[in-house]
Amino acid sequence: MKAIVQDRYGPAEVLRLAEVDVPTAGPGQVLVRVHAAGVDPGVWHLMTGLPYAVRLGYGLRRPRHRVPGLDLSGVVTAVGTGVTAFAPGDEVYGTGAGSFAEYALAPADRLARKPANLDFVQAAAVPVSGQTALAAVRDAGRLRAGQRVLVIGAGGGVGSYAVQLAVAAGGRVTGVCGPAKLDLVRSLGAGEVVDYTRDDLPDQRYDLVIDTAGNRPLSRLRRVLTPTGTLVLVGGEASDGRWLQGFDRQLRALALSPFVGPRLVPLVSKESSANLAVLAELIEAGRVRPVLDRTFALAEASDAIRHVAGGHATGKVVLTM
């Protein structure tokens, strides 16, 4: 099968298209014929091995998995022993190992039936970013109807879902984004939008702040929280440090949170069939939709990752097979 492979950490140039063997589904695994694969900043971290802390889990000297990619949508072709939820022919979406390929393995408990009203490209834009936003709004944010929500980076992959999920939960949402994304964020349900190139952050207080941008100090973010509010930090892209990069801000938030009024929560997101089913229900009800920036062919994976790493994608970028 055709797949994108990398044999060392580095920039997008380390990726190449190659022929590799089709993997075999083991116990609890599902083999998926991939129709589309999402591209997110996490793929860049695993490709570059940055920050260095990433390598503790994914290989110290070189990537443990040669084929990158997490998000996928496609059709089940085989299942391993113990898998009863899926059968060959099922259309699924979720996360697996090595989705930048014509076939990929995924744990059965990280897949769900593809939302009926999405095509494969749209579905591949949901799993990682959609579940991250769900964790930010529902789990870490504990959003209740009527609360005021500020989403920073509202036009990005995670931010576009966070706006919609907060609106669906009854939140009163303000979105912060660049000027080219203002109309989009309004269309996602935000009652107010702020152009960060002109106003930075609003002079108001919020019950929940979800920061997906990673480029503002904690002291600035705390000033827009109510005394009992919650700040959820998604990712860490603000620093060039090779050891922790922007994730040092999350560590500082964790250390500071017990001593201040607002809750400062570094987000830990988990993928699961249950979370995917929640998202599918909202998508099929028309309350959440994926926002697609553009698609790339599999052979253009390097260009797709460069585009995402630039930080200006509107919504999600997807590879098509």
List pLDDT tens digits, range 193-235. 999 999 889 989 999 999 998 778 888 999 999 999 999 999 7
User: Which sign, positive or negative, has the C-alpha torsion 92, 97, 100, 104?
Assistant: negative
Structure tokens at 249: 């801000």
Instruction: Summarize pLDDT for 4-62 with one digit per residue, the tens.
Output: 999 999 999 999 999 999 999 999 999 999 999 999 888 888 888 776 767 766 677 78
pLDDT computed for residue 41 by the predictor = 86
- The answer on 135 and 103 residing in a single domain is no
In a domain, 277, yes or no: no
* Final residue of a structural domain among 266, 282, 299: 266
In a domain, 71, yes or no: yes
Q: Give the Cα separation of 50 and 46 in Å (integer).
A: 7
In a domain, 281, yes or no: no
- The answer on 69 and 140 residing in a single domain is no
What angle is formed at CA 182 by the lines to CA 206 and CA 38, rounded to 5 degrees? 95
- The answer on 113 and 43 residing in a single domain is yes
In a domain, 279, yes or no: no
Highest mean pLDDT among 50-64, 186-200, 256-270: 186-200
- The answer on 211 and 312 residing in a single domain is no
In a domain, 284, yes or no: no
In angstroms, what CA-CA distances link 309 with 40, 97, 105? 8, 21, 26
- The answer on 169 and 96 residing in a single domain is no
Instruction: Summarize pLDDT for 65-124 with one digit per residue, the tens.
Output: 899 999 999 999 999 999 999 999 999 999 998 999 999 999 999 999 999 999 999 999
Least confident of 24-28, 281-285, 310-314: 310-314
pLDDT computed for residue 43 by the predictor = 86
Q: Are strands 192-195 and 206-211 parallel, antiparallel or unpaired?
A: unpaired
The CATH number given to whatever domain includes residue 19 is 3.90.180.10
In a domain, 283, yes or no: no
pLDDT computed for residue 258 by the predictor = 55
The tally of domains found in the chain comes to: 2
- The answer on 29 and 122 residing in a single domain is yes
- The answer on 175 and 203 residing in a single domain is yes
- The answer on 133 and 258 residing in a single domain is yes
In a domain, 260, yes or no: yes
Structure tokens at 273: 């069939």
- The answer on 143 and 217 residing in a single domain is yes
- The answer on 252 and 143 residing in a single domain is yes
In a domain, 243, yes or no: yes
**Ramachandran angles phi, psi of 221, nearest 5°:** -70, -35
- The answer on 118 and 13 residing in a single domain is yes
Angle between helices 41-48 and 301-309 (to 10 degrees): 110
- The answer on 188 and 66 residing in a single domain is no
Q: Give the Cα separation of 157 and 44 in Å (integer).
A: 14
User: Residue 143: how many CA atoms within 13 Å on its side-chain side?
Assistant: 31
* Final residue of a structural domain among 251, 266, 281: 266
pLDDT computed for residue 61 by the predictor = 79
* Domain extent for 248: 129-266
